Amino acid sequence: MIQIIPAIDIIDGKCVRLTQGDYAQKTVYNENPLEVAKEFEEIGIRRLHLVDLDGAKRGGVVNLKVLEAIAAGTDLIIDFGGGIKSDNAIEQVFNAGASIATIGSVAVKDQPLFFGWIKKFGANKILLGADVKNEKIAINGWLESTDLSIIDFVRQNVNAGVKTVFCTDISTDGMLEGPSVKLYEKIISTFPKLDFIASGGVASLNDIYELDRVGCKGVIIGKAIYEGRITFNELRTITQR
């Protein structure tokens, strides 16, 4: 069964969600992200996707204390991203308790640095984040568009040893209108050995089952949980299968 990976997005140390990556469309769901993480752990969730939105915007890790608190207060496997753009930053993230570093912009802008991290830490410690709009890569907290296609981007990185990629379609993220299943099918069929994680647009259990059907290894879910579209009881049912 597909792995459920709840997302906790952080601004000013608080659990928030954006709509379509717009920092002006922000909703605060909880002022204590550790409480949220513990709730997920209690229902059988094993992995957490933690995003430092301040870091993504500023180009350097900001909310390291939130990572430290969740890592110390739970046994969750944490993948952490947002603002990891230097050797020092990635070392800080691992030292603070992240099991996996989520990398996006650096993989586009500084491939030698990114490929060096894969060699140094191993592919299992790196999660490549591919944010797309109209099948083109977007970077820097979705604030900057590129002309690089998602397929070409994934190919470059798979050839360099990347094993796991998550893809967020910005046009669907936070809209609760369903995930970009056709795009994900295209990526999975092109790279059948890739561990592919879907992200964005999930609004119901049926969306999760559909992503499982097309071969996604995991699904990152945020707003649907916080808005009650997918309940904790439903998540518990899936995690206990």
| Active-site residue set | 9, 131
How far apart, in whole angstroms, are the C-alpha atoms of residue 49 and residue 147? 27
Cα Rg, the chain, nearest whole Å? 16
Dihedral sign for Cα 169, 172, 177, 182, please. Answer: negative
Q: What would the 3-class secondary structure string for the chain be? A: CCEEEEEEEEECCEEEEEECCEEEEEEEEECCHHHHHHHHHHCCCCEEEEEEHHHHHHCCCCCHHHHHHHHHHCCCEEEEECCCCCHHHHHHHHHCCCCEEEECHHHHHCHHHHHHHHHHHCHHHEEEEEEEECCEEEECCCCEEEEEEHHHHHHHHHHCCCCEEEEEECCCCCCCCCCCHHHHHHHHHHCCCCEEEEECCCCCHHHHHHHHHCCCCEEEECHHHHCCCCCHHHHHHHHCC
∠ CA 70-75-80, rounded to 5°: 50
> Phi and psi for 201 in degrees, rounded to 5?
90, -10
